[in-house]
Amino acid sequence: MNRPSRTRPIFASVAILAAMVLAGCSDGAPLHAGDIIRPPGGVGDFEVLVVADGLQHPWGIAFLPGGDLLVTERPGRLRVIRDGRLLPEAVSGVPEVVARGQGGLLDVTLHPNFAENRLVYLSYSKDAGGGQTTTAVARGVLDDLTLTDVEEVIETAAVGSPGRHYGSRLNFDREGYLYITVGDRGDMDRAQDRSDHVGTTLRLHDDGRVPDDNPFVGEEGVLPEIFTWGNRNAQGMAVHPETGQIWQNEHGPRGGDEVNLILPGRNYGWPAITHGVDYSGRQITPDTAREGMEQPILHWTPSIAVSGMDFYTGDAFPQWQGNLFVGALRHQHIRRLTLDGDRITDQEVLLADLNTRIREVATGPDGYLYLLTDQGAGQVLRIQPAAAFGEAPR
Enumerate the domain spans of the chain.
Answer: 14-26+33-387
Q: For domain 14-26+33-387, give the fold.
A: Neuraminidase (2.120.10)
Using one digit for the tens of pLDDT, what is the confidence trace for 306-356? 999 999 999 999 999 999 999 999 999 999 999 999 999 999 999 998 889
Please answer whether residues 215 and 222 qualify as being in contact, where contact means their C-beta atoms are separated by less than 8 angstroms: no
- Find the catalytic residue in 57, 111, 165, 333: 165
**Beta bridge partners of residue 349, listed in sequence order:** 335
Residue 56 half-sphere exposure toward CB, CA atoms < 13 A: 11
SS3 139: strand
> Rounded to the nearest 5°, which phi and psi values hold at 138?
-130, 165
Query: Is 275 among the catalytic positions?
Result: no
Using one digit for the tens of pLDDT, what is the confidence trace for 46-90? 999 999 999 999 999 999 999 999 999 999 999 999 999 999 999
Residue 26 has a pLDDT of 41
Report in angstroms the alpha-carbon separations of 344 from 106, 137, 358, 393.
28, 32, 21, 32
Report the predicted TM-score, pTM, of the whole model to 2 decimal places.
Answer: 0.92
Structure confidence at residue 31 as a pLDDT band (50, 70, 90)? confident
